Amino acid sequence: MKRCSGLSLVMPAYNEEANVGAAIRACAAAGEKFAEDYEVIVVDDGSRDRTADCVREEAQANPRVRLISLPQNRGFGGALKTGLKAADKPLVFYTDSDLQFDLEEIGGLLDKIDAYPVVVGYRVNRQDHFVRKLNAWAWGRLQWVLFGLDVRDIDCGFKLFRREVLQAMPMRSDGAFISTEILLRARVAGHRIGEVPVRHYPRKAGAPTGANLSVIRKAFRELWDLRKELR
């Protein structure tokens, strides 16, 4: 089993009080297993429930847990880039706080990080509604047509980076387009992207927000803004 010297585990969270405690403990267990030193960073994206309180309770039990509270909801991209930029370990991993991944599979990403500065998971037997899977397929094909980005599962919330890759890049997206933006900017900077299959599990509690029309509209606006910038 490969261990690294230091690992930051980043999770954005929005109204995830039913999941975030268990998600933090899963991150901590993975940190203990795969790293000599680790931190768990949870970015509360202006939640209206007890998400932030749950994180504080976990931080009292484990000083490696850090809460970043955003005063108002900024969107997935705003929360994610806040956490990624705050990470201070040599390797930075991010995942969702909805417990749909087995963090034991971080090991597969670590196996490739020496060869690839960016390693991303792709969901095997994705446990989402057919419409969400169809939308994801269409979105991925659009990124291939517009940018030539050939990644199996762009929005999979299971990614590992060398910290210097993230620290060197601007991140402007506040919405769901952030996943595409990060991969595009990494590729433009000349970084190779490795891919690893990961298992996906049904959400047990809470509700996803990625299919909201406002989220989709924002993603398309940010897509066109980045396309103009890169051109």
pLDDT (0 to 100) of residue 77: 94
Q: Flag whether pLDDT at 230 surpasses 70.
A: yes
- Residues 6+ positions from 140 with CB-CB distance below 8 Å: 151, 152, 153, 154
CA dist., res. 116 & res. 29, Å (int): 24
Strands (E), the chain: 4-13, 35-45, 65-70, 91-95, 118-124, 158-162, 193-199
CATH of residue 125's domain is: 3.90.550.10
Q: What is the pLDDT of residue 229?
A: 76
What confidence tier does 36 reach under pLDDT thresholds 50, 70, 90? very high
Pairwise pLDDT comparison (210 vs 129), residue with the higher score: 129
> What is the average pLDDT value for the chain, to the nearest integer?
90
Task: Please indicate whether residue 224 or residue 152 has the higher confidence score (pLDDT).
Answer: 152
Calculate what percentage of the chain has a pLDDT beyond 90.
69
Question: Domain of 171?
Answer: 4-230
Q: Does the pLDDT value for residue 176 go beyond 90? A: no
The pLDDT assigned to 215 comes to 73
* Segment 160-171, tens digit of pLDDT: 999 999 999 999
Is residue 47 over pLDDT 90? yes
Query: What percent of the chain stands above pLDDT 70?
Result: 91
Radius of gyration of the chain (CA): 16
- In the chain, the number of structural domains is 1
